[in-house]
Chains A and B, each alone.
Chain A
Amino acid sequence: EAGVAQSPRYKIIEKRQSVAFWCNPISGHATLYWYQQILGQGPKLLIQFQNNGVVDDSQLPKDRFSAERLKGVDSTLKIQPAKLEDSAVYLCASSPRGGLATQETQYFGPGTRLLVL
């Protein structure tokens, strides 16, 4: 089974520029998550999709961050304009939907490391 795919793996931009990250979840997984992991911290959820609908975006800085999952499969996270404090690893994860314990696990992609100069 193929894992969660993310691209690019690394990105360096200057502040006030825009950047986009792409994620393709595990096939058949209905739920998709974007996390931000700042160096030395645990991941923090930015947004959760259930199919193509948003379940939780309470911690997404909506003035500069946006995300979409138009066809309920892959997703794009965008930052415009970027700030220095956005330097972090952006992790995408996916999970099946359901009540069984094995379906509650989130599977993570390799992440995109963003450096804002």
Chain B
Amino acid sequence: AQTVTQSQPEMSVQEAETVTLSCTYDTSESNYYLFWYKQPPSRQMILVIRQEAYKQQNATENRFSVNFQKAAKSFSLKISDSQLGDTAMYFCAFRPRSNFGNEKLTFGTGTRLTIIP
């Protein structure tokens, strides 16, 4: 079974600063996907960024980037030039790469990020 750990329940940062959210995971799978999802107060879960484990290059999406350390089983999210709209719960999630249909996401407990004006 897979586990995902987010050790920072809450974080806050000043607008325009950079913040890094931590995530570690445990798995025996060799091929998998990692995700960061954002859940604003309206509660709709939105995909922020995705990383395929077989790719060595870290994924980037505009102001969002990840630091993927496969050997250490670490997957942190960096938000640059933070904006008020980045205020939300952030969930790290894992799923094995399966061709047989079992595509269950395992989520961490989340980090509540507040951007301070």
Instruction: Say yes or no: A105 contacts B47, CB within 8 Å.
Output: yes
Q: How many residues of A contact B (CB 8 A)?
A: 28
Nearest CB on A from B54, distance (A):
10
Given A104-B33, A110-B43, A111-B44 in contact, is the A45-B99 Cβ separation under 8 Å? Answer: no
Nearest CB on A from B37, distance (A):
8
Instruction: Say yes or no: A55 contacts B101, CB within 8 Å.
Output: yes
Neighbour of A31 across the interface among B46, B91, B101, B108, CB < 8 A = B101
Instruction: Say yes or no: A40 contacts B104, CB within 8 Å.
Output: no
Q: How many residues of B contact A (CB 8 A)?
A: 26
- Is A106 engaged at the interface, CB distance under 8 Å to the other chain? yes
Per the 8 Å Cβ criterion, residues 73-117 of A in contact with B are 89, 91, 93, 95, 97, 99, 101, 104-111, 113
Q: State the CA gap A104–B104 with chains docked (Å).
A: 10
Given A42-B110, A110-B44 in contact, is the A95-B52 Cβ separation under 8 Å? Answer: no
Binding site for B on A (CB under 8 A): 31, 33, 40-45, 48, 50, 55-56, 89, 91, 93, 95, 97, 99, 101, 104-111, 113
